Amino acid sequence: MKVGFDYQIFTLQAFGGISRYYVSLVEQLKSMGHSPRIFAPYHCNEYLSNVSPLTVDGKRIATRNSKLMRLSLPINQMLSNSRMKSWAPDVTHETYFSMFKPSRRSFPTVLTVYDMVHEKFPEEFSRWGNISVRKRMAVERADHVICISESTRNDLIQAFGVDESKVSVVYLGFDTFADVSIKTDSPESSRRPYLLFVGNRAGYKNFHGFLRAFALSPALKADYDIACFGGGAFTVAEKELIHSLGLSEDRVRHQGGSDKILGDLYSQAAAFVYPSMYEGFGLPPLEAMAKGCPVIVSHSSSMPEVVGEAGCYFDPHSIEEMSAAMEKVVFSPSLRQSMVSAGYNRLQKFSWASCAEKTMDVYTQVVR
């Protein structure tokens, strides 16, 4: 089957979970004998450099100038539509929520909805782009919608009044990252044991709650540090909170870098803490499990659905409960080991191969 993917997310993301999802899906579809092609005339995405040139119709603009990339959207839309129409796919997959109405097509369209966070927490997002409005329009024009969890599917149907028969659930796979050899002279091995936080830290991600829960425990403060990966350098407000809680920046450190570095951090962490108020799926817990890292996670939205029995849960609104969950895990070697084993078992439920197979079922359904 010929499957065309549009330019959108590859113009918006240099890195990120959504573009990684599509690249992984494309690679799996190719291995299954299908013919996927990404139409991204001018993009900024790093992952596409690892995809066969025959699969990507476009070239990378090495720039961090988000304004320039936004200006390229109308050009990408026009060229992508034209080139895709000439290629004549059996089905197209829109990779985000376009502000442009696509030209009339003779082939069916599938859309993936990743979460309903803009609808759940509208006060945390700029009105620029009207993402919620664009999402609704994209959902209405799609022939079928994929959601990445039952939680997201339920939220979508409730918020937009979508016909249940139009929405399917396809779970994501996960990445194990490069294997690393932990040497005794590595930078991390010489540090104190630490709890790991990954990704963006603002608003509903509940980083401030995590800091307060950590600082609430004298035992955690005495024996553990915090490592944060991604999400940019600490803001002034975050630094002020760190100091106000009696912590210091050498005990709460930020780390950026490659997937290999992230894999290293997962491998060496005492536990991974995921305090988010809401997630459409949540890949980091699976990534942590794959590196043998115990997962301490909030009991909200899709997290129980994804993590299952492999996590130690807490109410994200309760600082005391979060603090107690962290103490419970890090100070019990036997519990940590049983959680690691449960995590490896849980991973068998998720793979990019399974994601591609179930996505193909959706494509076949809409092509009939």
Q: What is the mean pLDDT of each run of 10 residues along the chain (368 residues)?
A: 96 87 96 97 91 92 65 83 93 88 76 95 79 93 97 97 97 76 45 93 96 98 96 95 93 90 95 97 94 97 97 98 98 97 96 97 95
Q: How distant is the alpha carbon of residue 361 from its chain centre?
A: 23
Give the residue from 321, 280, 265 showing the smallest Cα distance to 297: 321
pLDDT (0 to 100) of residue 259: 82
DSSP of 98-164: -SSPPPP-SS-EEEEE---HHHH-GGGS-STT-HHHHHHHHHHH-SEEEESSHHHHHHHHHHH---G
Specify the DSSP element, H or E, that contains 360.
helix 352-367
* Cross-strand partners of 195: 226, 271
Give the residue from 105, 86, 112 showing the smallest Cα distance to 22: 112
pLDDT (0 to 100) of residue 101: 65
Distance separating alpha carbons of residues 59 and 61, to the nearest angstrom: 7
3-state secondary structure of 209: helix
pLDDT (0 to 100) of residue 236: 96
Distance separating alpha carbons of residues 31 and 293, to the nearest angstrom: 30
pLDDT (0 to 100) of residue 184: 39
- Is residue 36 within 8 Å of residue 26, measured between CB atoms? yes
Specify the DSSP element, H or E, that contains 242.
helix 236-244
- pLDDT tens digits, 44-55: 999 998 898 899
What are the CA-CA distances from residue 367 to residues 88, 268, 305 (Å)? 13, 47, 30
pLDDT (0 to 100) of residue 183: 41
Specify the DSSP element, H or E, that contains 216.
helix 207-216
Across the beta sheet with 271-274, what order do the strands follow? 252-255, 225-229, 194-198, 271-274, 295-298, 311-314
Q: Tell me the HSE value of 273 on the side-chain side, using a 13 A CA sphere.
A: 33
What is the C-alpha R_g of the chain? 21
Give domain 2-173+351-367's CATH number out of 3.40.50.300, 1.10.645.10, 3.40.50.2000, 3.30.470.30. Answer: 3.40.50.2000
Give domain 194-349's CATH number out of 3.40.50.280, 1.10.3470.10, 3.40.50.2000, 3.30.413.10. Answer: 3.40.50.2000
- pLDDT tens digits, 146-204: 999 999 999 999 999 999 999 999 999 987 765 544 443 444 455 799 999 999 999 99
Give the residue from 61, 67, 76, 89 showing the smallest Cα distance to 8: 76
CATH 3.40.50.2000 in the chain, residues? 2-173+351-367, 194-349
pLDDT (0 to 100) of residue 68: 64
Q: How much is the pTM? A: 0.90
Distance separating alpha carbons of residues 101 and 103, to the nearest angstrom: 7
pLDDT (0 to 100) of residue 181: 45
295-298 and 271-274 as β-strands: parallel, antiparallel, unpaired?
Answer: parallel
pLDDT (0 to 100) of residue 187: 47
